[in-house]
Structure formats: structure tokens, C-alpha cells
Amino acid sequence: MKALAKVLAILVLTLLATAIALRVLVFDLVEVRGDDMLPALGKGAWVLVSRKGEPKRGDLILYRGKDNTYHVRRVVALHGERIQINDSRPIVMGKRATHEVTGTVRMADRTFKIVQESMDGRHYDILDDTMRRVTDQEEQVVDGLFVMADNREHSRDSRDGGSVPAENVRGIVVSVLARGAIPTQP
């Protein structure tokens, strides 16, 4: 019996040490604190972030902003690419993202469209607030990563603060553990 208890104790300690090492060296467990990434992630969402790999267009990343806090945003354009924003849609290297309305959600006594945005074979949902439009932006060359929130008309991102330098990227979201407070569809 003592031998079994000793083996179990060693197993538990080994698993705990492995989990701590992975957390310290490879992964971050992060809580999303706002509605900037609706409809994919709401306030209170939990995501697993890997510090390994290179971000690609369409990936969600965790990065340190100019305000020294961390943000989760979607990569829209990569270093050296040309980007322009027209009617909340990115145009990267002359190719405009396609939009298709896939549903609606109800928030704050209003209905918002859920739009599937597609670029380079990657598809993800964004919110479209037809009562509010962001200002179009002239073409620019990306120095780092150009990121945008999925809740475009109600969030801050590279359109306001410029490109995200590579050294500010903490990692890539590899798993959504809990989606947080997501509005219901009517």
C-alpha cells in the first residue's frame, strides 16, 4: 500500500511540475476582459495562448499595446503588406475581404449583423453595426502586424494605434476554453 501511495505522489508531482513548466515556458491562459472580439469571444472568455509559431492572417493574437496592457485581436495584414480600410473592410495587397451576412445578435436593445469575413481561405465572424461606420483609411505599408477587432465599429486596434511590432506579440490563441458572455441570436 505504501509503495502505491509513493508512486501516486510521484506521478502527481511530475504532472504538476510538467504543467507548471508548460505554463511558464510555452503557454499562457488568458481571460478576455471586454467585448472587442464579439461575436467570437465575449467578456469573461478564456483562451490558451501559445508563445510558439508565427502569426498568420486570420489568427487571434495576444499582444502588448502602447498602453502597456494586453489585447486579443485578429491579424489582418502581415509585415510589408499594403493595407487599406474601406467601409470597415480590409483591402490587403489590392484584394478586398469578402463579407456575407450569416445571422444577427441582440445587444443593448439593438440588432447587429453577424458577418462572415473571408480572406485567403480563412473565415471568421465579425459584428456589423449598420448605425455606425468607422472612417476609411488610406493605403499604408504594414510595419509589424496589422490587427483588427471583430467588433469593428466599437473597438480600438491598428486603425487607431498603428501596427503591432513583432516584439510586442506574446503569442497566438490556439484554443478557446470558454467563449464568455456572447449575445443571443433573436
Q: Of 7-21, 65-79, 123-137, 165-179, which gets the smallest average pLDDT? A: 7-21
Report residue 136's pLDDT band, with 50, 70 and 90 as the boundaries. confident
Domain locations along the chain: 27-178
Domain covering 27-178 in this structure, CATH number: 2.10.109.10
Single pTM value for the model: 0.86
Task: Tell me how far apart the terminal alpha carbons of the chain are, to the nearest angstrom.
Answer: 59
pLDDT at 61: 98
Determine the Cα–Cα distance for residues 151 and 172; give it in Å rounded to an integer. Answer: 19
pLDDT at 40: 94
Angle at 97 between CA 95 and CA 118, to 5 degrees: 125
pLDDT at 37: 97
Residue 99, pLDDT > 60, answer: yes
Q: Grid coordinates in use for 47?
A: 483562451
The torsion region of residue 146 among left (phi > 0), alpha (psi -120 to 50) and beta comes to: beta
* Three-state SS at 70: strand
The β-bridge relationship of strands 98-107 and 95-96 is: unpaired
Cβ atoms of residues 142 and 75 within 8 Å: no
Residues 37-71: tens digit of each pLDDT? 999 999 999 999 999 999 999 999 999 999 999 99
What's the mean pLDDT when you consider all of the chain?
90
